[in-house]
Amino acid sequence: MNSIVILNTLVIIAIIVSAILTVKFDNLLSSIIALAVTGSFVALEFILLHAPDVAIAEAAVGAVLSPVIFIITLKKVKEGKER
């Protein structure tokens, strides 16, 4: 097992763990941060799959743009936790 396969498996496990954390958190802000972490790990996986332009696009959208507009909405809606 060379090191690329081990790195791939580690990144996949990180994606699954952060996705499960997104579902389980009750506080909406923590959920959004977990979504951003998932997006960053997916972008890292895209680099390992030899797709650099897609990785740049996914990092820009999923780790910067989406959490920013979510947090702006949270501020306008004044909502803290789920339920």
Residues within the interface to other proteins (CB under 8 A): 8-9, 12, 15-16, 19-20, 22-23, 28, 31-32, 35, 38-39, 42, 45-46, 49-54, 57-58, 61-62, 65-66, 69-70, 73-74, 76-77, 79, 82-83
Q: Which is nearer to other proteins, 3 or 19 (CB)?
A: 19
Q: Per DSSP, what are the bridge partners of residue 27?
A: 81
Euclidean distance between CA atoms 64 and 83, whole angstroms: 27
Euclidean distance between CA atoms 36 and 28, whole angstroms: 13
Q: 């910067």: which residue's tokens?
A: 64
Shortest separation between residue 65's beta carbon and other proteins, angstroms? 6
